[in-house]
Structure 1
């Protein structure tokens, strides 16, 4: 998965990220700041995911979010 999307579109994905993982808070978003590694660490901490599961979940999130962002751009 292209984790650059998380960093490059950080301002656009923060809200979606908090909807997807409700246990994350504003302080967590500041810690993540577009870093897939930090997001994976927090998912492991908050949800008890293994590293592999955290990365799988991030991939799923990015795939769906990228498609959503692409649709929004097409509508403009």
Structure 2
């Protein structure tokens, strides 16, 4: 999912993001605000993923 898709739909999809990545808090989701790079960074931080793994997770995130 690209950055413009995330930003444009963030308020609609952040609940799905939290269900998929349960370690992300509401505060994390508020800070991310649909920014792909911030989401990748938070996934790396919360799940101890490599950047490549986090990018694959985000890219595979479909609603």
Give the helix-richer structure, 1 or 2.
1
- TM-score class, shorter-chain normalisation, is over 0.9
Matched positions, count: 63
CA distance in 2, matches of 1:30, 1:49: 21
CA distance in 1, matches of 2:19, 2:44: 17
1:40 alignment counterpart: 40
User: Structure 2: any 5+ residue segments left out of the alignment?
Assistant: none
**Which has the greater radius of gyration?**
1
User: Structure 1: any 5+ residue segments left out of the alignment?
Assistant: 66-76
Displacement over 4 Å in runs of 4+: none
Q: Normalized against structure 1, the TM-score is what?
A: 0.78
Q: CA RMSD in A?
A: 1.0
1:55 alignment counterpart: 55
**What is the deviation of 1:24?**
0.5
